[in-house]
Amino acid sequence: MNSSFDVLVLGSGIAGLSFALKAAQAGRSVAILTKKNKADSNTNWAQGGIAAVTSPEDDIEKHVADTLVAGDGLCRERVVREIVRDGPARVKELIQLGLNFSRESGGGYDLGREGGHSARRILHVKDMTGKAIEEALLKAIGREPRVALFEHLFGIDIITTGRGRQRRVRGLYALDVLDGRVTTFQAPVIMLSTGGAGRVYQYSTNPEIATGDGIAMAYRAGVEIRNLEFVQFHPTTLYAADDKRFLISEAIRGEGAVLRSLGGEAFMADYHEQADLAPRDIVARAIDAEMKASGAPHVWLDITHRNATYLRKRFPKIYRACKKRGYDLANDYLPVVPAAHYTCGGVATNLAGETALAGLYACGEVACTGLHGANRLASNSLLEAVVVAHRAGDSIRRYFSKLPRGRAAPIPEWVDLGGHDDDERVVISHNWDELRRTMWDYVGIMRTTKRLERARTRIANLEREIQDYYWNFSVDPELLELRNMTTVARLIVACALQRGESRGLHAITDFPRTRKRALDTKVRI
């Protein structure tokens, strides 16, 4: 296996694949590493779509305003304006790659509307937008000779050289999941596009890969982590007694679905003027309040005013999934509950995906650019990914022009400390369950300082056990994921304890008011 490249990309979602194409087009050799199959990504699970101004009835200022309102005072306005402004051009590039967004019978785009948006601006491919984007990008990657894609390679830690301002990226240690060997990759540029950390919670809409790997690696490399307390809980996942909860896209409410109490009463108008199309943080808290007040295990989602023909055409994936679980969208109310969905904070970057560590970039859900603020506006995530990936592609052209010429000194190979005791494996499974329950119970939709402090104590104990295991046994995927998840959980709690207010997705009973001045929370080694 060739282990020397110009650029390493960790993750194969829309952010990583888009950036890999840009880097290859800049003449660079690129390796994409993904810890499972190449199509396993949060992008592939995205149902809703990508928000961009493409209609004459919409405009950039409306999209900017909606994003700022949803972000509850913490968005960086310049970042919002530039990403929203660049969105239409990046959407055109996706179309040029072969992506066919759903259209109306008259030929125009069938634009959807989701919570917090004042206009219809969501481009979608029925309710399988992420899958369509993933397929189009993977086809384009397959045609690019400068890109090598490695499946089942799990990034462990970033290798750096130098000190202070001279410190920069040199490479990466990565575990071959299939044979257990660790490869040392050399590269002056690493792009973290590993997605978020939804699986740190007991109930999540995310695939199993969403374990915060990139956030944890960046933190261990000394990079600032910002605003990680803002974990978005999607308001509507199909209720199930176990932890397997299926996402019911917000686009359903965009087409008129109504949230109802167990008694059948519509309740969202009591919480917000936009009712069922309020921003996600408000809807999730409203459902949580309704459930706690009544003791109900769920609320209802009602779209029975739409007929089966329309629902099968507009939401084929959701329709089939509900039918499989015994619910008919056209005739039945759906039992729904919130679940952890999107990590709004993350690795601190600028608009080009650059971090404070030279050569380290981050893009997509793993990063915090300032676009989402305290609460992500629906369908802005795919938009951010393509815009920042494009700008990062321009950035690396400049970065490579400044790198010192000549052969770099060799970097140390991985040292396997050895040891494997099957009797100790139970530590991993038990700690995994305890961590996720702790986060769900103590760091959920509604928080208190006392709960956060309890979570901090429990996570610290888990982290000590896991670190001891990490340094005394050979690594494997479960251990690496758990190591990363406990780190991210600790950082979420640390950020939450810094924020002495309620803002956006962070609602805490001790500090119910929002401060006049919005400040970022920051954690770094």
Tell me the torsion sign for CA atoms 474, 477, 479, 484: positive
pLDDT at 413: 86
Residue-level pLDDT at 405: 79
pLDDT digits (tens, 9 = 90+) for 497-525: 999 999 999 999 999 999 999 999 999 99
Name the residues annotated as catalytic. Answer: 280
Residues 213, 187 contacting (CB under 8 angstroms): no
On whether the CB atoms of residues 145 and 139 are closer than 8 A, the answer is no
pLDDT value of residue 422: 58
- Which H or E run includes 411? none
User: According to the model, what pLDDT value does residue 110 have?
Assistant: 93
The residues that bridge with 266 in the sheet, in sequence order, are 260
Q: What is the pLDDT of residue 106?
A: 82
* Beta-bridge mates of residue 246: 238
Q: Is pLDDT of 306 > 60?
A: yes
Residue type at 420 in one-letter notation = H
Given a contact cutoff of 8 angstroms between Cβ atoms, the answer to whether 122 and 382 are in contact is: no
The pLDDT value recorded for residue 423 is 61
Distance of alpha carbon 128 from alpha carbon 294, whole angstroms: 35
Fold of the 235-341 domain: Flavocytochrome C3; Chain A, domain 1 (3.90.700)
Using DSSP's 3-state secondary structure scheme, residue 467 falls into helix
Region 423-523: CATH code? 1.20.58.100
Length of the chain: 525
Same fold? 235-341, 423-523: no
Q: What confidence category does residue 493 fall into, taking pLDDT thresholds of 50, 70 and 90?
A: very high
Grade residue 436 by pLDDT with cuts at 50, 70 and 90.
Answer: very high
The predicted structure's pLDDT at residue 157: 97
- Predicted confidence band at 36 (pLDDT cuts at 50, 70, 90)? confident
179 in Cβ contact with 151 (< 8 Å): no
CA 25 from centroid of its chain's CA atoms: 26
Name the least confident of 37-46, 226-235, 403-412: 37-46
Going by pLDDT thresholds of 50, 70 and 90, the confidence category of residue 408 is confident
Return d(Cα 242, Cα 522) in angstroms, integer. 34
Q: How confident is the model at residue 363 (pLDDT cuts 50, 70, 90)?
A: very high
Q: 88-140, pLDDT tens digit by residue?
A: 999 999 999 999 999 998 889 999 998 899 999 999 998 888 889 999 999 99
Q: Which residues fall within 8 angstroms of residue 433, CB to CB, at 6 or more apart?
A: none
Tell me: pLDDT of 41 over 80.
no
Architecture of domain 7-229+344-402: 3-Layer(bba) Sandwich (3.50)
Domains of the chain, by residue range, sit at: 7-229+344-402, 235-341, 423-523
Higher-confidence residue of 372 and 429: namely 372
**Distance in angstroms (rounded) separating the CA atoms of residues 31 and 149:** 6
Angle between helices 14-25 and 380-402 (to 10 degrees): 30
Structure tokens at 263: 């008694």
The model's pLDDT over 313-357, given as tens digits with 9 standing for 90+, comes to: 999 999 999 999 999 999 999 999 999 999 999 999 999 999 999
**Looking at the predicted structure, is the pLDDT value of residue 185 above 70?**
yes
Q: What are 189-245's pLDDT values in tens digits?
A: 999 999 999 999 999 998 889 999 999 999 999 999 999 999 999 999 999 876 667
pLDDT of residue 105: 83
113 phi/psi in degrees, rounded to 5: -130, 140
